[in-house]
Amino acid sequence: MTLIDLRGSTVLVTGGSRGIGAAIARTLHGAGAAIALHYSQGEVEAQQIAAELGGDRIHVVQANLAVPGAAPGLWRQALGWRGEINAVVNNAATMPAATITDAWELWSAAWQDTLQVNLIAMADLCREAIGHFQAQGGGEIVNLASRAAFRGDGPEFMAYAASKGGVIGLTRSLAKGFAQDGVRAYAIAPGFVRTDRIEQVMAEKGADYVTRDIPMGAPADPQDIANLVAFLIAGLAPHATGATFDINGASYFH
């Protein structure tokens, strides 16, 4: 018997067109789930994933979560596909740089955009999901945070670290507030993950820039995160609701 069996489940994955989100979508689909694959700008990549996976268990949805109020529309798109959603993976994120010496306009825009995408849109989707999950007897939420939520980040990425700290508080509140409704909420806090963006950083700044504080000597593979998401969504550890899972090669423990 396969340990991870998601047949019959419909999962909304945000930011699913590349990187961690794409690995999550492929893994959940491989375990039998139907995937509502969200993208913001990466339409070509999202459609390529849909074509690759094929069949009637993949559906592409678009929304720009940087726009306030976009999340409920995304939820309606995803829900309208099959009339039911069993789990949400909030992976979409942005990471604009801004330091205290930058122009006010750049600083303010970076904070507004980061909090809107990484935290407010996530909370909006969770709000929609909770109401639906209450009506159907439960569901799972997995929110992607970051090691930066606990150890902070560089001065140019304070907004990112702050937004991911908010994700932890949001997730724990959801877990406590709606456990009696059968809702389970988990956070995953990766360190460096071998995505295209991190590959580019390593090429530009040298591999040591990324690996020097990782005892395992390399960034995590996106599959590490995807495997854990599948495990949690399968309901195999429901009493872990509210927990944060570190995936960072032993570089940090909160």
Q: Are strands 183-190 and 58-62 parallel, antiparallel or unpaired?
A: unpaired
Residue 186 annotated among the catalytic residues of the structure: no
Q: How confident is the model at residue 25 (pLDDT cuts 50, 70, 90)?
A: very high
Q: In 54-195, which residue ranges form alpha helices assigned H by DSSP?
A: 70-82, 104-115, 121-136, 148-151, 158-178
* Alpha-carbon radius of gyration of the chain: 17
Count the helix, strand and coil residues of the chain and give each as a percent rounded to the nearest 5: 50, 15, 35
Q: Rounded to two decimals, what is the model's pTM?
A: 0.95
- What tokens appear for 140 in the block? 């799972």
CA distance 122 to 80: 19
Query: Average pLDDT for residues 198-209, to the nearest whole number?
Result: 81
Say what the pLDDT of residue 220 is. 86
181-207 burial code (b ≥16 CB/10 A, e <16): eebbbbbbbbbbbbbeebeebbeeeee
Residues 6+ apart with CB under 8 A from 6: 28, 31, 32, 33, 230, 233, 234
The catalytic residue among 160, 186, 209, 252 is 160
Which range, of 24-33, 137-146, 186-195, averages the lowest pLDDT?
A: 186-195
Say what the pLDDT of residue 2 is. 54
Which domains are present in the chain? 10-247 (3.40.50.720)
Does residue 254 have a pLDDT over 60?
yes
Q: Are 199 and 211 in contact (CB under 8 A)?
A: no
Query: Average pLDDT for residues 86-101, to the nearest whole number?
Result: 97
Say what the pLDDT of residue 218 is. 86
Residue 12 bridge partners (DSSP): 36, 88
Query: Average pLDDT for residues 90-110, to the nearest whole number?
Result: 97
Does residue 194 have a pLDDT over 80?
no
pLDDT tens-place string over residues 219-237: 889 999 999 999 999 999 9
Say what the pLDDT of residue 211 is. 87
Mean pLDDT of the chain: 95
Does residue 1 have a pLDDT over 50?
no
